[in-house]
Chains A and B, each alone.
Chain A
Amino acid sequence: MTNTKYQTPALRAGASVTNIKFQIALVVLAIAVLVVPVPLTWAAPQERHVRIEASQFQFTPSVVSVNPGDKVTIDLTTTDVVHGLYVDDYGLNITADPGQTTRLTFVADKAGTFALRCFAPCGPLHPFMVGKLNVGPNWLLWRAMGVAGIAAFAGFWVLRK
Chain B
Amino acid sequence: MMRYELTQIPWLKRLLVSRWPLFLARAVTLAGFVLTTVAGLIGSPVGSHNFAIIFVWIAWWTFLKLIALPFGGRAWCSICPIPAMGEWIQQGALVEPGGKGLGLGRQWPKRLRNVWLPTLGFGVIGLFSAVTLTQPRVTGWVLLGFILLAAVLSLVFERRAFCRHVCPIGGFIGLYSRVAPVEVRVRDRSVCAEHEDKTCVTGNAHGYGCPWQASPVSLTQNTNCGLCMECLRSCSRDNIVVNLRPFGADLAQRAGRSLDQAYFGFMMLGSVVIYSAVMLGTWGNLKTAAYNVGTPGWFIYVGVLLAFTLGVLPGLFLLAVRAGRALARSKASLKKAFIAQSHAIIPLGLMAWVAFTISFAFVKFSYVWSVLSDPFGWGWNLFGTAQLPWTPYLSSITPLLQVLALLGGLVWTSI
Q: Complex Cα distance A112/B164, Å?
A: 45
Residues of A within 8 A of B (CB): 1, 55-59, 62-63, 86, 88-89, 112-113, 115, 117, 121, 124-132, 140-141, 143-144, 147-148, 151-152, 154-155, 158-159
Closest beta carbon of chain A to B389's beta carbon, Å: 10
For residue B134, CB closer than 8 A to chain A, the reply is: yes
A151 contacts B284, C-beta separation under 8 Å: no
Among B283, B291, B363, B399, contact of A58 (Cβ-Cβ < 8 Å): B283
B282 contacts A144, C-beta separation under 8 Å: no
- With A128-B279, A130-B280 given, is the CB distance from A58 to B411 under 8 Å? no
- With A56-B284, A125-B288, A155-B413 given, is the CB distance from A144 to B407 under 8 Å? yes
CB-CB < 8 A to B283: which residues of A?
58, 62
| Nearest neighbor of A88 in chain B, beta-carbon distance | B395
A154 contacts B284, C-beta separation under 8 Å: no
For residue B256, CB closer than 8 A to chain A, the reply is: no
| Nearest neighbor of A156 in chain B, beta-carbon distance | B414
A88 contacts B392, C-beta separation under 8 Å: yes
Listed A/B pairs (17) with beta-carbon separation below 8 Å: A58-B282, A59-B282, A62-B284, A86-B392, A88-B392, A88-B396, A113-B399, A115-B363, A124-B135, A125-B134, A126-B48, A127-B364, A129-B284, A140-B400, A148-B406, A154-B411, A155-B414
- With A58-B282, A131-B282, A144-B406 given, is the CB distance from A158 to B415 under 8 Å? yes
B278 contacts A128, C-beta separation under 8 Å: yes
Residues of B within 8 A of A (CB): 46-48, 130-131, 134-135, 278-285, 287-288, 291, 324, 328, 360, 363-364, 392, 395-396, 399-400, 403, 406-407, 410-411, 413-415
Q: Complex Cα distance A47/B392, Å?
A: 28
B130 contacts A154, C-beta separation under 8 Å: no
CB-CB < 8 A to B403: which residues of A?
140-141, 143-144
6 closest pairs, A vs B, by CB?
Answer: A58-B284, A155-B414, A62-B282, A124-B134, A88-B395, A144-B403
Closest beta carbon of chain A to B364's beta carbon, Å: 7
Q: Complex Cα distance A124/B139, Å?
A: 13
- With A56-B284, A58-B282 given, is the CB distance from A125 to B411 under 8 Å? no
Q: Complex Cα distance A58/B288, Å?
A: 10
| Nearest neighbor of A63 in chain B, beta-carbon distance | B282
Q: Which of A1, A63, A129, A130 has the most CB of B within 10 A?
A: A130
CB-CB < 8 A to B278: which residues of A?
128
B280 contacts A154, C-beta separation under 8 Å: no
B410 contacts A125, C-beta separation under 8 Å: no
Closest beta carbon of chain A to B140's beta carbon, Å: 15
Q: Which of A89, A125, A148, A158 has the most CB of B within 10 A?
A: A125
Q: Complex Cα distance A128/B340, Å?
A: 37
- 20 additional A-B pairs beyond A115-B395, A125-B288, A147-B407, beta carbons within 8 Å, are A57-B287, A57-B288, A58-B287, A62-B284, A115-B363, A121-B46, A121-B48, A124-B47, A124-B134, A127-B134, A127-B360, A127-B364, A128-B130, A128-B279, A130-B280, A143-B403, A144-B407, A151-B407, A154-B414, A158-B414
Closest beta carbon of chain B to A135's beta carbon, Å: 13
Closest beta carbon of chain A to B127's beta carbon, Å: 16
Q: Complex Cα distance A31/B48, Å?
A: 40
| Nearest neighbor of B414 in chain A, beta-carbon distance | A155
CB-CB < 8 A to A130: which residues of B?
280-282
A125 contacts B130, C-beta separation under 8 Å: yes
A128 contacts B280, C-beta separation under 8 Å: yes
Q: Complex Cα distance A122/B411, Å?
A: 40
Q: Complex Cα distance A107/B190, Å?
A: 71
